Amino acid sequence: MTKLYNYALGKWHLPMGSETPQYNALNSNLIGVAGDFSDYGAMCDYARTVGGKALRRMTFFERGMMLKKLALYLTERKPKYYKISALTGATKTDSWIDIDGGIGNLFTYASLRRQLGNESFYVDGAAVKLGKNGTFIGQHVCVPKQGVAIHINAFNFPVWGMLEKCAVNWLAGVPAIVKASEITSFLTEAVVRDIVASGILPEGALQFIGGRGHGILDFVTMQDVVTFTGSASTGKILRGLPRLNEHSVPFTMEADSLNAMILGEDITPDMPEFDIFIKNVRNEIIIKTGQKCTAVRRIIVPERLLEDVQIALGIELKKVTIGDPSVEGVRMGALVSQTQRQRVHENIKKLLKASSIVVGDLEKFEVVGADKIDGSFLPPILLLNEKPFNNTESHEIEAFGPVATLMPYKGLDQAIELANKGKGSLVSTICSYTPSVCRDYLMNAGAFHGRILFLNRESAPESTGHGAPMPLMTHGGPGRAGGGEEMGGLRGVFHYLQRVAVQGHPTMISQVTQTYKVGGAYTIKEMHPFLHYFDELEIGETLLTEKHTVTEDDIAQFAELTGDKFYAHTDPTALEGTPFSGIVAHGYYILSRAAGLFVEPQKGPVLLNYGLDECRFLKPVYPNSTIGVRFTCKEKNEVEQKPDDTLPPRGIVKWLVDVYDETGETVALATIMTMVRKK
């Protein structure tokens, strides 16, 4: 009998303790057996002391490059994962969502390295002046937690479930222990084996358990993070564990929910939105055989369109071919196991107390290329609840399969009330072509749903659909959905960082954070900073420019050149009731003239101006005012050198442009970026 190995303490181990058999979803043949590990405490310590230390020594840029390298490595091995994924009952489309979606998360989070900088910690926001004279400031800094992320994942996404979470904690500098579902962990193990073999991650950054994981949370500490994906009932049990409460361990829960799709009252059967809605609902019922935490469970439509929707959905669902995904033309595979099929049957029976089946038959359906008895097959089932306000089972019971309930509403207020009766969901969709309908839905339903899709003819061509969470957007939801948040771009990374409020003198904070702060000490060198290579530039290196006196002719000529003839720059008779006592220089003139003061004209290591990061005009500049610039190296960031790159090795430098007047007061403050060649 094949046994699934666990990866812990830098080695592969045979499973121990309680064992779980794993079956081919298409024919119930035994695949192997998953089991536990003997010492979860040692695994946690190993992650913290070995994996965590190694990751924290890396910068965000280096961690991001690590994710990109891993994504490319796994991409080359996708065909192997697709073959294994088929054993879970998944079609090619289902596997694409799971496998390519998971790898795509690695690519997405790798790209965030450019926003996080070239340090092992993140400088969060602008500095805050805490003292009158500017010698005492505050700065928020986010540092990696010194614990381990323990991910307890569900059976429906063996690859995406792991990589969508690990991409985030690895970028943050935190190691992971992945407890995959014991039902489908054979696929997760195949990916983990390749990750380990690649040597791309530092030792201890990833450990893997394919069994039930009993006792895995008995050793968590206040520096650890626990995430859970699965049923709401199991999540509540885990959330209430004394160890988590005693140590205030962050617990993120993403639970299955009763997601809704609403057809707007403004839609008629002859509008494009009607067909778009029908096709999207069909997809949400059959993709992954309905085994998605984001799948549609409640279809809420105007009462006058109830029959039209039922007929249209019936036509679409009856076209769906069920069977072995390797057979040409099969659109929906099997549920993950016989046990899961039995659970879906049980919940359908509960739902039938208040609803009736209008499309599909639990007994009479055809399966192509497989046996519907030995396999874990179930046809698409559409239920009808004609009185959804009285018969509330549809808002309380979830059949985790290709099952959804159709229900009518009168007026948008009723639609919103029905959508919110799910007591919190991961996602809801409103299909409408009227902005006011979408706005009202957002304002009155937004608090009950983690994500809302506005679906219509304009968004449909590129929309990833109701059930597809995106890496840069928050995935989670309130109430029944767990109350947690995953992914969300930088928001997800912050979940694994500790925000620290640092206070002190601008010089000290500049030196510690390697980001120059206004008021900090600076150095002046003999050579112009634009003549220094990226490697030679130092944070705080400053150029004090020559001065320039602004004249009325300067202002008038700039107005003619740019066409910006706003009255405050051109008409001294129109200034009553404004903050100005006379015509003032254009803010962009001040910034442009500042560039004329700080730019070094001769060719040097600076390749180009990369852009303007921020700009503020703080004080009016009148004719005859004299301006100068303090031009300071504020921050340095690495740039990836690609194999086909035609440019020389380089980095991006952020410069603080502090424009001041004859009184010494700052009149404009900006951050510009230049691309600078390395030596």
CB 666 within 8 A of CB 654: no
How many whole angstroms separate alpha carbon 110 and alpha carbon 60? 9
How many whole angstroms separate alpha carbon 218 and alpha carbon 593? 63
Angle of the 101-111 helix axis to the 160-172 helix axis, nearest 10: 20
How many whole angstroms separate alpha carbon 499 and alpha carbon 143? 7
The CA angle 95-96-98, to the nearest 5 degrees, is 65
For tokens 């119930």, the residue is: 28
What is the three-class DSSP state of 638?
strand
How many whole angstroms separate alpha carbon 670 and alpha carbon 617? 9
Pairing of strands 474-476, 485-487: antiparallel
Structure tokens at 260: 């809704």
Q: Is 199 exposed, middle or buried (0-12, 13-18, 19+ CB in 10 A)?
A: exposed
How many whole angstroms separate alpha carbon 501 and alpha carbon 149? 24
How many whole angstroms separate alpha carbon 128 and alpha carbon 136? 9
SS3 of 517-553: the string is CCCCCCECCCCCHHHCCCCCCCCCEEEECCCEECCHH
Q: Per residue in 439-476, is it b (16+ CB within 10 Å) or e — as a string?
A: ebbeebbeebbbbbbbbbeeebeebebbbbbbbeebbb
CB 629 within 8 A of CB 672: no
Structure tokens at 124: 């969060």
- The conformation of residue 654, written as its DSSP 8-state character, comes to E
Catalytic residue IDs: 254, 293
What is the three-class DSSP state of 364?
coil
Residues 165, 169, 175, 178: what is their CA dihedral angle, to the nearest 10 degrees?
Answer: -10
Specify the DSSP element, H or E, that contains 595.
Answer: helix 587-598
Q: Nearest Cα to 491, choosing from 106, 122, 78?
A: 122
Q: Nearest Cα to 379, choosing from 352, 355, 403, 349?
A: 403
- The conformation of residue 425, written as its DSSP 8-state character, comes to B
Q: How far is CA 591 from CA 300, 552, 671, in A?
A: 55, 17, 11
How many whole angstroms separate alpha carbon 630 and alpha carbon 260? 57
